[in-house]
Amino acid sequence: MKTPAEVVAYDSRWPAWFDEIRVSLERLLDGVPCEIEHVGSTAVPGLAAKPIIDVDVVVPAVDQVAAATAALVSGGYEHEGELGITGREAFGLPAQVARYHHLYVVVADNKAHRDHVLLRDRLRADPEALARYAARKRELAPLLLTDRSAYVDGKRALIEELLR
């Protein structure tokens, strides 16, 4: 599945897409204590975003990360490690997946988890912050075709400001 490389207007189908992903993950993670959360821009009504559902599998303690990782790998996900963000284990998608998504395993209330939730909740509650973030994403969107890292780096200062 090709990685989406554009910022689009909010799509009211995104919560339903998350629910589809959540159900499939619940099957894989049966027996692993965890919660599955919709984070990222598609979790914020009204926010322009790449049509990529960001999902956190939230385990209660660090000793549960291995069990969650093993369950996801057995279901076809590829463990990619932290990818530069301490406390967040990233996963590549299985070959056959219905919805493109980013998947992470985080420990409840660690910095990676808090940052995802705090940014989502700030954008949901603050129309000015939402408008500023949407404008920044649209400004940087052309980079998605040439330099995804520059796109991510270009949002960093505003994200850090919004998290403070």
pLDDT band (50, 70, 90) for residue 72:
very high
6-21 per-position pLDDT tens digit:
999 999 999 999 999 9
Q: Which residue is listed with tokens 């992470």?
A: 104
Q: Which of 18-27, 51-60, 121-130, 146-155 has the lowest mean pLDDT?
A: 146-155
In a domain, 118, yes or no: yes
In a domain, 3, yes or no: no
41-53 per-position pLDDT tens digit:
999 999 999 999 9
Burial label for 43, CB within 10 Å (0-12, 13-18, 19+), is buried
In a domain, 57, yes or no: yes
What is the pLDDT, as a whole number, of residue 112? 95
pLDDT band (50, 70, 90) for residue 136:
very high
Domain count along the chain? 1
- Could you tell me where the DSSP H helices lie in 46-94? 65-74
State which residues form the domain around 84: 14-158
In a domain, 30, yes or no: yes
What is the pLDDT, as a whole number, of residue 1? 65
In a domain, 1, yes or no: no
- Per-residue CA distances from 85 to 3, 25, 68, 123 (Å): 20, 22, 18, 21
pLDDT band (50, 70, 90) for residue 97:
confident
What is the pLDDT, as a whole number, of residue 98? 85
Alpha-carbon dihedral angle through residues 38, 41, 43, 47, given to the nearest 10 degrees: 180
pLDDT band (50, 70, 90) for residue 4:
confident
What is the pLDDT, as a whole number, of residue 3? 80
- CATH code of the domain in which 65 resides: 3.30.460.10
Burial label for 98, CB within 10 Å (0-12, 13-18, 19+), is exposed
In a domain, 2, yes or no: no
In the chain, what is the straight-line distance between the N-terminal and C-terminal CA atoms, in Å? 36
Quick one: average pLDDT of 88-100?
93
